[in-house]
Amino acid sequence: MELTHKERIERILNGQEVDCPAISAWRHFYHRENTKTDLVHAMIDFQHKFDWDFMKINPRASYHIEDWGAVLNRSHDPLVKPRIVSLPVRDSADWHNIKQLSVNGGALGENLAACAEIVQRVGREIHCLPTIFSPLSVAADMVESEQRFLELLKSEPDELHAALDAITTTFMLFVKEQLRSGAAGIFFATTEWASRNLLTEEEYLEFGKPYDLRLLDAAGPAMFNVLHVCSKNNMLPFFRDYPVQVLSWNPFDEGNLSIHQASQIFDKIFLTGMDHNLTLLAGPAAKIRSQIESSLNDAADGRIIIGPGCAVKVGTPDDNLQIAADAAKTWRRS
């Protein structure tokens, strides 16, 4: 049997046999994220080049805070991130300025329009997932540093909770609009805030989980929701009961569960298998293929979609991505 991209993903989600493993990758195009049109073209060009099995729509990594007052100098260099000029939260009193937003204007509206156009243009061929950051991640990105955010979290928790409520309500509306436009689900990222390097599980239980679950409830009708737990020493087992179909993390990072370990405690599809920091970036080809083969063998009953542990580094050679795509499409379980 030869399946379409959509059929392959749907059969994996349903625990059915497929013709070959599914694979996808995503990355930033810093110089092509400044307008809706540029982002649409960048995402579709990347899809057409490598023929991935689904698309994670990867917008500029500040879209979620700009409408609350973040100011950035956007990049025109493919290797240079946008530069932060100013952020809206400097002390606890500033949390009072973080109110619920309309999602139809500004950067949020631009992102909605870009995702809707992408779905309109390629959604018949592949499932598309917009990137949504956890409310805690959104709040933290409004502060100049991780250390300063932690100080505010510990010193004035009530003010932060009020802001988290406004952020969550805003993005619940945002997610519902994404699904109305035809997105198959969301790619929900905790960024570095589900790592023991920054928070305890008790702190995440207070400041993270309640807002995560509210937002994921808005995405509940979708058939393809991904939870991405980022960073080293992450709290992956903490998310066992999250209502998503797919779990994404980097098993090659320090302190994280391996694919085999995760398969012992999770009854979810995994989206992982490529080390974007080293192997995918530097190769060689034999190591890329070997790592993908090992990841496929380690996953229980083929319940895995091959993907990077996080966004592919911008300097990653296209040849390495093509090697990875070919390795997945030609692999057969022995």
Contact (Cβ atoms closer than 8 angstroms) between residue 229 and residue 190: yes
pLDDT of residue 257: 98
Tell me the per-residue pLDDT of 249-261, one tens digit each, with 9 for 90 and over: 999 999 999 999 9
pLDDT of residue 1: 75
Tell me the per-residue pLDDT of 259-277, one tens digit each, with 9 for 90 and over: 999 999 999 999 999 999 9
Instruction: For residue 24, give the amino acid letter.
Output: S
Q: Domains of the chain, with CATH numbers? A: 5-330 (3.20.20.210)
Type and span of the H or E element at 324: helix 318-330
pLDDT of residue 334: 59
pLDDT of residue 300: 75
How far is Cα 64 from Cα 264, in angstroms, rounded to an integer? 35
pLDDT of residue 312: 98
How far is Cα 20 from Cα 205, in angstroms, rounded to an integer? 38
pLDDT of residue 302: 80
pLDDT of residue 15: 93
How far is Cα 116 from Cα 43, in angstroms, rounded to an integer? 12
- The string of DSSP codes covering 65-80 is TGGGT-EEE---STTS
HSE toward the beta carbon, residue 43, CA cutoff 13 A: 32
- The string of DSSP codes covering 127-144 is EEEEEEE-HHHHHHHTSS
Q: Which residues of the chain have pLDDT under 70?
A: 333-334
pLDDT of residue 331: 85
